[in-house]
Structure 1
Amino acid sequence: MTISMYGMTVPFFTRMLTNLLAIMDKADANAAERNFDTGVLVTSRLAPDMLPFRSQIQIATDHAKGCVSRLAGQPVPSWPDDETTFDELRARLNKTLDLLATVKPTDLDGSDTRPVTLKLRSGDVTLSGEDYIVQRALPNFFFHVTTAYAILRHNGVPVGKSDFLG
C-alpha cells in the first residue's frame, strides 16, 4: 500500500502543530503556577548558537505551509516573522492550521513527480515532490517542532513524550 502525498503531509503537519498548541497551553499553566513570564520562554534557546523558541515555531509553520503550497503548485504564502508573545505564536500556529484545512487530497495529486525547486543559501536545489517531502520538508519540520518542545521542557514545562505525540 502506498501513502498519498496528502497523507504524507497534511495529517502530520496538522497533528504536530495541534500538539504544539497543547504544549504551549501547558507552558502557560506552568508559568502561571510558578509566577513566570512566558515572554522568557519565547526568547529561550537550548544553546547560544541556536534559534529561540519563537523562531522554531516560525520555521516549523514555514515548512508546513511551504510544503503543501509547493506540492500544490501554488505560491508559498509569505508571513512576517514578527511574533513576540505566546499569543502571537499561537495565532501563527492557528493560521497555519487554517491553511492546512483548505488543502484537499486532490490538490496534491501528481505532486510526487512534480519538480520542487528550493532556493537555498548554497544555491537552487530541484527535487521531485516525493524526495522533497522525505529529504527536506518532513525532517526540517520535525527538527523545529522537536526543538520547540525541547526548549519548553528544558525550561521546566512538565511535558513528556505523550504530549509531543499527542
Structure 2
Amino acid sequence: MSITPYDLSTPAFQRGFTVLAKLLDKAEAFAEDKKIKPEILVNARLAPDMLSLAGQIQRMSDTAKGAAARLTGTAAPSFADDETTMADLRARIEKTTAYLASVPEAAFEGAEDRTVVVKTRGGELSSSGKDYLLTFALPNFYFHLTAAYAILRHNGVAVGKLDYLGRA
C-alpha cells in the first residue's frame, strides 16, 4: 500500500474542518448557555500577540487551500479575512472544504517531487512537495487547529481531547 500526497492532505484537512465545525457547535452552545455574545469567542485569543479564534480559522483555511494548490500546481481561491461572526467562520470552513473537494485526486500525481515555494515574512522557502506537506503544511494546519481548540477551552467551552481528535 502506498500513501499519496492526496491521501495525506485533502482527507486530513477535511477531517480537521469537520472537527473544527463540531468545536464551533460547542462554542455556540456555550455562548447561549452563558448568555454571552458568540463574537466574544470569535475575537478571543490566548495571548495579546496571538491570532484570535477567527485568525486561527483563517490560517487553517489558507494553509489547506495553499497546500492543495501548491501540490497540484494550480491557483487557490482567495478569501478576504473578514469573518466576524460564527456564521462567517462556518461559511469560511464551507468554502474551504468545497474548494478541497473540487481538486481531483489525480491532480496530486507527482506532487511529492514537485518543487514548492512558500513566501514567508522571512523570505522564500523552497522544498519538494513531500517535504512541504510533511514539515510545513500539515504541522501548520494542526498548529492552528490546536490553537483554536485551546482558545475555546481557555474561555470555558467544555471541549476535551476526544473533541479535538474527532470521534471516528
Task: Trace 1:144-155 onto structure 2 (pairs within 5 A).
Answer: 144-155=144-155
How far apart are residue 120 of structure 1 and its match? 1.4
Distance 2:122 2:2 in 1: 33
Structure 1 stretches of 4+ with a deviation exceeding 4 A read: none
How far apart are residue 130 of structure 1 and its match? 0.3
TM-score (norm 1): 0.97
How far apart are residue 76 of structure 1 and its match? 2.3
Equivalence for 2:43: 43
Identity %: 49
How far apart are residue 49 of structure 1 and its match? 1.3
Distance 2:9 2:111 in 1: 12
Equivalence for 1:22: 22
The yes-or-no answer on 1:59 pairing with 2:59 is yes
Amino acid aligned to 1:69: A
Distance 2:39 2:120 in 1: 31
Equivalence for 1:128: 128
Structure 1 unaligned blocks of 5 or more: none
How far apart are residue 2 of structure 1 and its match? 2.9
How far apart are residue 124 of structure 1 and its match? 1.4
Equivalence for 1:82: 82
Distance 2:95 2:78 in 1: 12
How far apart are residue 122 of structure 1 and its match? 1.6
Structure 2 unaligned blocks of 5 or more: none
How far apart are residue 103 of structure 1 and its match? 2.1
Distance 1:74 1:104 in 2: 11
Aligned length: 166
TM-score (norm 2): 0.96
Distance 1:134 1:88 in 2: 30
Distance 1:33 1:134 in 2: 40
Residue-by-residue CA offset, 1:71-124 (whole Å, 9 max, x unaligned): 111012211101111100110001111111112221101010000111111211
Amino acid aligned to 2:164: F
Equivalence for 1:8: 8
Residue-by-residue CA offset, 1:6-62 (whole Å, 9 max, x unaligned): 000011000011110011011111111111111101111111111111100000010
Distance 1:88 1:112 in 2: 34
RMSD: 0.9
DSSP-derived class of the 1:112 partner: helix
